Chains A and B, each alone.
Chain A
Amino acid sequence: MLKKLCLLLAVLFIIANFAACGQSGKTDGSASSGTTKTSDSSGTKPATSTPGTKDTKSSDEVVTFTWFRPQINRNAIVYWNDALWVQELEKRMNVKINFEGPLVGATSKDYIQAVQILLNSGDYPHVLFFNWNNYSGGLAGAIEDGIVLNISKNEDYWARLPYWRELLESNDFIRRSVTLDDGSSAIFCHVEETTNRSCYNGYAVRGDWLENVGKSAPTTIDELYEVLVAFKQMDSKIYPMTDESGSSTVNNLLPAWGLKRNVPYPDPDNPDKLTHWTVYKNGQAFTDFITTMNKWYKEGLIDPDFASQDWDSRSAKMTTGVSGFSYLLPQQYTAWKDAIVAANPDLKGKVYFLGLEPLIGPAGKKYNTNNMRNWAATTAGNVITVRAEEDGVVERILDVINYLYSPEGTDLINWGVEGVSYNVKDGKKEWSELVTNDPEFSFGDAVFKYAIPTWGDWPKIMSYEAWLSMETKDPDALRAHQNYLKGDPGLSMPAIVLTQAESEEYNRIMTDVNTLVDEYFVNLITGVRPLDDIPGLLEQIDKIGIERALEIYQGAYDRYMSK
């Protein structure tokens, strides 16, 4: 009896399985949602593949669409739909947005993997945020492959974006960043109101230590050296300069020598030509830099753990008085000061971090690594996929995006709702009590329940004012930011897009080059490798093909500049 039952179940089970197999076999190998190519360049409105006319929804109807992007995932708020500004946006535009996407950050491998699977299997959301450098062939490739809608090619669509078009027409930098080689534009990204915001990070030194050794803020590399030596003399256990794996402190000294790490950048002596840090001045600048760092290391000015520490260890060194010079982000000014005071209450009011102007080195200019020519968020942005067209929601989505670029929308996304999250006093906006005095969360966390005053990869215009009020709330951080602004943007590069063939070759060469240089870099500074190895290193890099890589990149750069 039992056996007969099992037999029956088994037969049913197997039939079900093969049915499933059959179905999957049918659709395997093709994008499930139809492959209507809507990317033809003739500009005519393409036909939708769904039966019945799913035309523009009337503006009374609530349109629902999906937006795939990382969830906000902050201390005070996890899902986008809980944010005040999103709820308000939905009300004003009569839409309902279903946010899909993981909790992790957009640059994380998890997110990239999740999106790549989406794209490669044909399951597109309506709107997608992605950095198209991570798609083989880039954004142009995605349009050609029939995934992304090329909005500017369609007159009706393009007509619905007056604010966005205005932005492009008024600012060449933005226009170049968001258009493809053929001049069309399909991406909607975050745009800066002023490039000042890119100078949010830079060097800082412990102000109280400077006072102790009786020196003023260093402005050149040589002066920095003196300061570090003086710090070391305070106590032999001190390693004045500290860093972490990924080397932000050491790396960001490179511009003083006219160098930039790992990526091609405009040659300071010849700005139309691109160079690489191993190639600039025939490798002499590179050699000088390493030699100087090696000297500093030998004199005990650099923390021996500098290349292998993690963020927490570096924080610990800066807050326990082991180090006094490093590269800071705005909230570290407050966080570290508070941590020092918590452990040493007698330093309250005395300890502070002093932000420095970019240092001048052998290159003679205040070069820095902040991307001061960056008006738009490079190659990462939001696109509308063909699925939106099939579901007939494109028009409303465009309306939403256009709204976000309007002055009203800018206020909404950067500040929230007037009277609730912000108030206007004498023409100046300030955050309301609700935001600044949140009982559970600090201001920096609470504000995200209501608005996004910082970057967030949304189609929006940044509000410099909102950003300042949030990230440089600490007066030290504000002062530092103003110092960082004094840098020279000569080494800045726009975001270049390579074709698939170009990027395959370029990546193959550069992964090898970067691996080799990165490896030698630390070992040369710490003295594990002798400095005589540098010529050999440069020769090897040449053999791997750095000149060819530069050539490829130069070609793409020229294409970009001629747009």
Chain B
Amino acid sequence: MTPLLAIGPAPLALEPIVAAVTESRGEGRGMDGAVAVFLGTVRNHNAGRSVSYLVYEAYEPLALRSFERISTEVTEKWPGVNLALHHRTGRLEIGEASVAIAAASAHRADAFSACRYTIERVKQIAPIWKREFFEGGDVWIEGATADPDDEMARAKAERAACA
């Protein structure tokens, strides 16, 4: 059975996580009327640079705890949603998926919102870094200072999710 939350070097696929969110409902199986999915993929350009490939690094035990936290936040905000979140590590070529999210719900609005909220929170608090290799060099990309207790950041993720 595919775990709902995972991080590691294996290539990502949507079908297993869609199956995981709908089939792990226990007695509630069949309750879902929508599964929203999101795939983040490696883009061939960034900040005016021609990207060759990315290498992702993670502090895996803390990343998994962050995923658990995000999943709990989602369930608090959208009680009927069942969430799967997988992130890949290691070298990824252009077009490959770095993150895969599936959110199952009785109705589409919550599924879409939970999916969007989850990717925003991953970018805010998951201890994961991408190193961009481009023509002529490489650079670690540095985004947000990770602070899971930053309520402003969380509110921003909720706004992005139209929640």
Genuine A/B complex = no
| A-binding residues in B (CB < 8 A) | none
| B-binding residues in A (CB < 8 A) | none
